[in-house]
Amino acid sequence: MSTDPLSLSSAPHCEPGLLQPTGHRPAANTGATQPISRHYRARRAGAPLGIRLAVRRGCHRNGHPESAASETGRRPRAGFADGAERFADQAVRLLLEVVDRRRTPAQLNAVVDPKVLSSIETIVRNDLAPGRALGSATAINVRLTPTETDATELFATYQRGKRTLALAGRIETTSRGWQLVAVRLY
């Protein structure tokens, strides 16, 4: 190769080697083989890692929720109906998308109470969302605190640019399932 600083060099070899039937794959530039890492094997299994983990956490061994909790390292919380955490996470993300005007407020119909929907429409119409000029909102953390068997308090943090903001609310079970019945953006 030339010593000229503008000359090009060959591109590095970035693709993984072919899998060998013995459970080894060849190293990048040598003929030697190395063990296949657990991460590499998981990535090659077909579905993305996040989907496989979600499916694994949702399945119970032998029909016992305790075994699923031991797999994930978390114990199920007492007093929570099935799906409350999942609903809260999805509701917060959907709410933030509506407040950012990436979705229309009508898409919240199935998730929120009609009174809450009208207040969210007012926030969107008058551009009253806290920190909206800082950029789009990204949910960071969603937590639930049980208050009754059919209701929980919701606390979430979200980020706009470098600023961290919060929201609080309440979800209750209705005839249609979980529903966001109160919300406050901070």
Q: What is the pTM of this model?
A: 0.57
Question: How far is C-alpha 22 from the geometric centre of its chain's CA atoms?
Answer: 37
Q: Domain check: are 175 and 98 in the same one?
A: yes
CATH number for 155: 3.10.450.100
Sign (positive or negative) of CA dihedral 47, 52, 55, 56? positive
Q: How many Cβ atoms are within 10 Å of 96's Cβ, its own excluded?
A: 22
Q: Are residues 108 and 166 in the same domain?
A: yes
Task: Output the pLDDT for position 65.
Answer: 43
Domain that holds residue 174: 84-185
Whether residue 68 sits in one domain with residue 123: no
Residues 181 and 91 in one domain: yes
Residues 91 and 179 in one domain: yes
Whether 57 is covered by a domain: the verdict is: yes
Q: 157 and 88, same structural domain?
A: yes
Domain count, the chain: 2
Number of other residues whose CB lies within 10 A of the CB of residue 85: 17
Q: Which residue has the higher pLDDT, 159 or 69?
A: 159
Domain assignment of residue 5, yes or no: no
Indicate the residue among 72, 102, 129 that finishes a domain.
72
- pLDDT, tens digit, for every residue of 15-53? 555 554 555 555 555 555 455 455 545 455 566 666 666
149 Cβ contact list (under 8 Å, min separation 6): 79, 81
Tokens of 165: 């903001």
